[in-house]
Amino acid sequence: MHVTRQQLSTDNPEYQEVSAVFRKGAKTKDFVLSIEAIEKVTNPTLQQAFDINKAIYRRQYGHVRTVKVFHGTKITNIPSILKNNLEVRRHGQNRGHRFGAGVSFSAISNYSSHYCDENVPVKQMLLCLVLVSNIIEVPEMKKKRYTICEPPFLEGHWPLRYDTTAKNKTTMDVIVKFEDHTFYPAFVVSFRKRSKMCPPVASPSPVYSSEPIFLPRSVQNDYNRPPAHSSLYRDPYSVHPARTHVPVRPQYQPAQYHSEPFYTRAQPQPATNQAQNTTGFWDVISAIGRFIFG
């Protein structure tokens, strides 16, 4: 089974058509997808099986249309898918099958990107051609043990069934196919997923002055001076082209403290005898008499 992958140029009509479908759902409030490359897939065997089922749909249902939807998967799975096509029997074994036990697709590229590789810079997804005749909306089955194994019967056309189930048949954010080779992997889209970030705020440009800046004396002390590599200030004692005299840098001198303490303990006074210090009246009279009469 021969498979070829041809990279399309940006001015190719098919590239522009696929790019337009991809960009419709490439933006969200948090992420944006950008295309890196688009490859066209050629597999004659799968194309023939797809055309046969298209004729069967037209004969059974009377009408059929081909829609372009995406299928997200890991890069390691793509070569096998391009060779053998997607398999209905696996029906979402990796990520579940909430809208039916079949192969899931989405018309929104950003939705399909959640199923691609996470930790690679350039991711890949498939753009597939899918046959749709009768589509029906089904409820979401969040519990894995409850699922839709096959679509319900088509009203008024028993034993025919609906061929496609969907979450929303208008937007086709999720559709599920239950029959093999009713889809064809036509293109491989390589893309990047970037987060939307606010543009950086421009910082104000620094203002330079030709005159030296003198700082307070407290900053000039060696103990308070910032490191030499700091750009918080300019050294006022450095040589400046406009200065003819450079002042001498003051030297730090520690404060001179007194050796005596700032306070002294009160010494206790000896108790005095009041009787010993009392002077008698006649002692005073005799002293005065000796002074007058010699």
Mean pLDDT of the chain: 77
| CATH number of the domain located at residue range(s) 4-193 in this protein | 3.90.228.10
Residue 71 pLDDT > 70, yes or no? Answer: yes
The mean pLDDT of 75-86, rounded to a whole number, is 94
Residue 267 pLDDT > 80, yes or no? Answer: no
Instruction: Tell me whether the omega of the peptide bond preceding residue 261 falls within 30 degrees of 0, making it cis.
Output: no
**Predicted local confidence at residue 219, as pLDDT:** 46
**Predicted local confidence at residue 181, as pLDDT:** 94
The mean pLDDT of 179-184, rounded to a whole number, is 94
**Predicted local confidence at residue 203, as pLDDT:** 46
Q: Which of residues 89 and 11 earns the better pLDDT score?
A: 11
Note whether 163 and 132 are within 8 A (CB): yes
- N- to C-terminal Cα distance for the chain? 159
Strand blocks (E) in the chain: 4-7, 31-42, 65-72, 103-105, 123-132, 135-137, 164-166, 175-177, 183-195
**Predicted local confidence at residue 56, as pLDDT:** 95
Residue 266 pLDDT > 70, yes or no? Answer: no
**Predicted local confidence at residue 223, as pLDDT:** 44
40 exposure class (CB count in 10 Å sphere: 0-12, 13-18, 19+): middle
Residue 168 pLDDT > 70, yes or no? Answer: yes
Highest mean pLDDT among 107-116, 209-218, 232-241: 107-116
**Predicted local confidence at residue 146, as pLDDT:** 64
**Predicted local confidence at residue 42, as pLDDT:** 96
